[in-house]
Amino acid sequence: MNEQISERDRTVETDVAVIKSNYVRRDEFADLRTEVRVGFAQVDTKFAKVEAKIDRQTSTLLKWMFASQLSVAALVVAVIKYL
């Protein structure tokens, strides 16, 4: 009888140890949350840089389009005037 109790006690101790090893502690979870926040902040920063680059390129493209249209209009006026 005593052996059975000892065996069951060891089994319970083993099961509890396995459960504890798989259980996430609050401080570990807090560390993980901090790492995730830092990661998201880095991603947000990279997105902001990409958006700024896209805005600059869009602005440059619009300026070139306007200049091209103005040049074509001047060319049309010059052709009409000198023909």
Q: What is the pLDDT of residues 48-65, one digit of tens each?
A: 999 999 999 999 999 999
Q: Look up the pTM and report it.
A: 0.55
Residue keyed to tokens 């300026």: 63
Q: Which of 19-28, 34-43, 62-71 has the lowest mean pLDDT?
A: 19-28
Instruction: Inform me whether the pLDDT recorded for 81 exceeds 80.
Output: yes
Q: Quote the DSSP letter at residue 1.
A: -
Rg of the chain over Cα atoms, rounded to whole angstroms, equals 35
Q: How far apart are the first and last CA of the chain?
A: 118
What is the mean pLDDT of the segment spanning 31-43? Answer: 93
- Distance CA(83)–CA(76), nearest Å, equals 11
Q: Quote the DSSP letter at residue 69.
A: H
Q: Which of 19-23, 36-40, 71-75 has the lowest mean pLDDT?
A: 19-23
What is the mean pLDDT of the segment spanning 29-45? Answer: 92
Report which residue type is found at 24: V
